[in-house]
Every structure is written in structure tokens, then in C-alpha cells.
A and B are shown apart, each in its own frame.
Chain A
Amino acid sequence: MKLIIIIAWRNIWRNRRRSIIMITAITVGLWGGLFAASFSHGLLEQRFETSIEQHISHMQIHHPDFIRDQAIEHQIHDWAEIYDMLSADGEIKAFSGRTILSGMLSSANLTRGVRIMGINPELEAQTTGISNHLVSGTYFAEEIANQILVGKKLAEKTKLQERSRLVLTFQDQDGELVSAAFRVAGIYQTANSVFDESHIFVLQSDLQSILDEQIIINEIALLAKDAEAIPQIRDTYQELFPANTFRTWNEIATELSYLIEMARVMITIILIIILLALGFGLVNTMLMSVFERTRELGMLLSVGMNKTRVFLMILFETAFLSLLGTLGGILLSVGFIYLTSKRGIDLASVGGDSMEAFGFSTVVYPSLSINLYFTLIILVIITAILTTIYPALKATRLSPAEAVRDQ
């Protein structure tokens, strides 16, 4: 076996140029594939993380009808009990109850429809970290009434600035229109400009006094300490509070889970295409190398090197070529992905601004799970073995007497 391995290793260096071209092709192919995979993985992971962190959280609780019709009367009546449970639950990291209203925002210049989020500033800060996303102004100060946080995009469109005055108009529970004046305390920006353009934050207590009501909670968003535990947490709470609907992030953002699933399929397809191309390249290279060596292979078969050994020799040659290429591809990719994951790739200059409208960040930090590398190595080995079969069978099917006299 050692002899076969030595001969195979030396054989691949007989046609140095051809081997180097093949190895380079594999290296570049895998680098392209892995980079494409890491790019989409990074993009979606960021999209996923920002969506979870800034907007959706791990799980949301609503009145069953609120999902269909986001009206103020569809509220979570037993929110206080849920609050108590969540506060005592060691698996819950943070939660925030919100009063959600649809209304109109009127500034001096423009009027726009907005979603008004009445929040408890402390709970919201822990859950979505909105307090960390201020680009100007301050988060709610305790002693001042009727403060408002607006998104940067909305502020730009309605020419609002810090300390600008504006009027919010919305319906109360009886369907009566209510208006109140607010003053901009701060301007926030998340990775999703559509969200920024349509959501404003006010204090729950202010809404409570405007509406002259008890605290209304239409939505509770929560973060678990371990995201994996979410389905099980959902089931537990759903059973305890059957009057409400508990939905996990992938049930809420179906398009997000769809995107992630689609990206996984796309990455797999890209890798399969690369491996197919690699496979055909290898078959071609190995066939050429077998045909060039007809006489030599005939001699080997004549003197008693049996077919298994000839097959193994060709297999090792293919394996060496593909493993060298894979090693090159992985090293190049790891280096490249590492560098770009630190610096990020800024797409702003190539029209990446439009990405923000879909909730994607303009700076992408490629990343790849270690599992994919292992999967890839295994796939390459399988490809190498499969592609060996045809050329190696050609080699072993040679008639030694004829091959040895081949001109």
C-alpha cells in the first residue's frame, strides 16, 4: 500500500502544469462557493439577529384577533399574570409589553400614518435595546410627559428634529378620535429602514392618561436565555394562558424563516454545481492521465500488479489532487472570510442602500459555520471517489498484452 501511495503521489507531479491547473481550479471553485455561502450566511445571520434583537424578539404574545385586526380593543387581558410568570421564569431573559395603536403623525410640514408603540422604557430597553439605537437626542427622561422617539427615516421625511413638536391622532376604544401633542426626545435608527419609517415610540403611561384607561397591553415580546428552548417555552405558556396566542419568531416572520431555508438550499445548490464541475474536471484530468499511460499501465498489469492495486493507485492520484485543491480552497476561504468578517463588506457603493429597505444591513460580515467545512471535505472526498471510478475502470480494463505494445 505504501508503494502504491508513493507512486500515486509522484505520478501527480509528472505533469506538473496539469496538476497545478487542476488543483488551482478546485481551490478557486471552492473559494468562490465558500465565499458565496459565507456571504449569504453572514447576510442572513445579521438580518436574523437584527430582526430578533431589534424588532421581533424570540416570541410574541397577542390576543388571537389582534394578529388579524390590529385594533386597540384586542388586548391581552391577563397581562399582569403573564408578567408575573415571566419575571419569575429563569429561562426568560427579558420581556416588554406594548400598547399598539395605528395613528397619524402630523408635523409642521407633513402628515403620515404611523404605528404608535406605547412602551415601558425600562422593559423595552432590555428587550429590543432601542435605547442603544439613538442617533441623536435622549431616551425617555422620567419627569417629562409626552416624549416621543421617531425613526431616522421618518424624521428625514417629515423634517423632524430633536425637540420638534408634533401631534399624534388615533382612535380610542370607543372609536373616538383623540389627538395629543408630543415633543421629539430622540431619533433612533435600526438596520431596517422600513421599520424606522413607520414605528414611533411613546410612553405607555402617557397613552394611559390620554386614553383615560387602565394600562392596555396588545403585545408582549420576549427573549429567552436560550433560543433553542423557545418552542418548548411557547408550548408551556400557551397551555397556561390559552386565551392568548403565543408565536415564535419563525411563525411571526415567516418570510425570514423562508429566506433562511431558501439560502440553505441555494448554498447547497451552489456547492453541488461546484462539486459537479470539479468532478467533471477531475474525470477529464484522470482520463487524460490514464490514456497517456496506457503502456505503463499495461506493464504494471503484465508484471502482476493486480487490478485492485491499479485502481487504488488511480484513486490515490485523484484523492491527492482533490484534497490538495480542497485544502487550498479552504485555507483561502478561511483567510478571506476571516478578513472580511472583521472588516465587513460595505455594499453602500454598489447600491446596497436599497438593501436597507428590506431590513438588510449595508455592511455584510461574511461568516460560515465550521460544519460546512467538514461537510464540504466529506463531499469532496465522495466526489473524488466517484470521479475515480470511470478512469480507474478504464485503466483496469486494459488488456495488458495490448496496452504494453500501445504506440
Chain B
Amino acid sequence: MKTVIKTTNLSKVYKDSVVPVHALKNVNLEFSQGEFTAIVGPSGSGKTTFLNIIGGLDKPTDGHVIIDGVDIATMKESQLFDFRLRHIGFVFQAYNLIPVLTALENVSFIMLLQKQSKQEMEKRARAMLEQVGLGDKINERPGRLSGGQQQRVAVARALASKPDFVLADEPTANLDTESAFNLLDIMARLNKEENITLIFSTHDQRVIERARRVITLVDGAVDKDEYFERA
């Protein structure tokens, strides 16, 4: 299977505090096309730092992040903006939709920034909202949607532009159990149907078992990397 992301000797040290914090230590991981991976570990174990670095939002102190054969650790900031726009989908803990845009416009947003054709874009956005079960809410603004519904819009937004992979940092942290399971089911289904690589971080035991691969980080280093057969 094609490798989408490869990290070699990835390290991150935060030097702004009195004692330097080693958030990541020599992380070597590979993610293949279509994988559905959970990054787990206690708080401070480096989950978010890892996602930020492979998402091009933060730079490693050392090591490489190879995406599609390109080392993004050496990219300039302006190049990273474009790289993120074209290759990576993001889902955030606090949904982070644009409150002044409707669900449909929110899902179309990334495609609009990518300057896709209007017709294709709208068709795709509608289809994605159908996929996440919000076909009847396309003209609602986020303020009128529940937390679970907002996060489903966010997932639809992240996947609509067909990125190489989607990063979700604690996507269920603000959701109740039912919404959390529902969201993970949708993510798992889309991962299969769209064959998009999905990586999410969580410390939520409820949703870990939805993932087919679980990587456990402890103190910035990979502790366990396990594969599971899921239905």
C-alpha cells in the first residue's frame, strides 16, 4: 500500500519554558493510504504536537516529515499554507466552523479557496453533507446546529476537498457519548468509502476501538503501535 506520511527521527523541543520540554523524541512512523489510526496517550504525551507537525502547523526541532515524497519540515511558511490547503484536511476539537456561513458554504469553503469549479463544488458539498446525515440542514448556520451536527459538518468540510489525509485532534472531546460514537462511525465509513487516510488523536477510551490502528505515545515517544481487525 502507498505510504502517505513518513516521519524519521522526528523530535520537538519547546525551549520557551525554564526547563526544555521534549515533546517528541525520535518518532519514526509511516502511514499508508486508507489507514484509520488513533493516536492515544495521556495528556502531555505529544499527541497534539505530533499532529501539528505532520499537519504543517508546527516545525520539528529535528527530523523529517515526508508527505508525497516532499519533506514539509523544510518548507517555507508561505509554501505550507498552500500545501495544507491542497493536501491536508483538518477537524478540530471545538468544531471551528465559520459562524457566518451556512453548512453548505462551510463545506464548500476549502474548495472555494482551492478555486474549484462552482458546479462541481456544490455537488460535492451536498453529497458530503448527505453522507454525514445532514442533507436537511444544508442552509443552516452553525449556531443552529448541535455540537455533534457541527462536528459532522467539520468532517464533511475536511473530506470534501479530497485531501491526501485528514487530521482530527480530539474530535470527540466536546461531544456526548452518542454523538461521539456517531461521529466515529461516520469517519470510519468515509475512510472506507473515500479511501482517505484518517488520523485522530484521543484520550477517549470509548472511541479508540473504532480505529484499525492504535499508536500509543508516552512522554513523546512511541510506546505501542498496534493493528486491529474491525468490522
Contacts and interface: CB of A to CB of B under 8 A. Distances in A.
B93 interface: yes
Interface in B110-126: 110, 112-113
Contact of A296 (B52, B96, B110, B112): B96
Main secondary structure of the interface of A (DSSP, over half): helix
Contact of A7 (B57, B78, B100): B100
A301 B110 CA distance: 11
Interface string A302-342: 11111101000000000000000000000000000000000
B200 interface: no
Contacts of B98: 7, 296, 299-300
Contacts of B101: 7, 10
Most chain A CB within 10 A, of B58, B81, B82, B93, is at B81
A304 B84 contact: yes
B78 A306 contact: yes
B100 A295 contact: no
A302 B82 contact: no
B60 interface: no
Given A400-B57, A401-B57, A401-B58, A306 B96 contact: no
Contact of B82 (A11, A298, A304): A304
Contact of B96 (A7, A10, A299): A299
Given A7-B101, A304-B110, A404 B84 contact: no
Interface residues of B, number: 27
B212 interface: no
Interface residues of A, number: 24
Interface in B70-124: 78, 81-86, 88, 90, 92-94, 96, 98-101, 109-110, 112-113
Interface string A209-243: 00000000000000000000000000000000000
A145 B83 CA distance: 101
B37 to A, nearest CB: 20
B68 to A, nearest CB: 16
B148 interface: no
A249 B85 CA distance: 69
Contacts of B84: 302-304
Given A299-B98, A401-B48, 5 more contacts: A10-B100, A14-B99, A304-B82, A405-B94, A405-B169
Interface of B: 48, 52, 55, 57-58, 78, 81-86, 88, 90, 92-94, 96, 98-101, 109-110, 112-113, 169
26 contacts: A7-B100, A14-B100, A295-B96, A296-B96, A296-B99, A299-B90, A299-B96, A302-B92, A303-B84, A303-B85, A303-B90, A303-B113, A304-B81, A304-B83, A305-B81, A305-B85, A306-B78, A306-B81, A399-B57, A400-B57, A401-B48, A401-B52, A401-B57, A405-B93, A405-B94, A405-B169
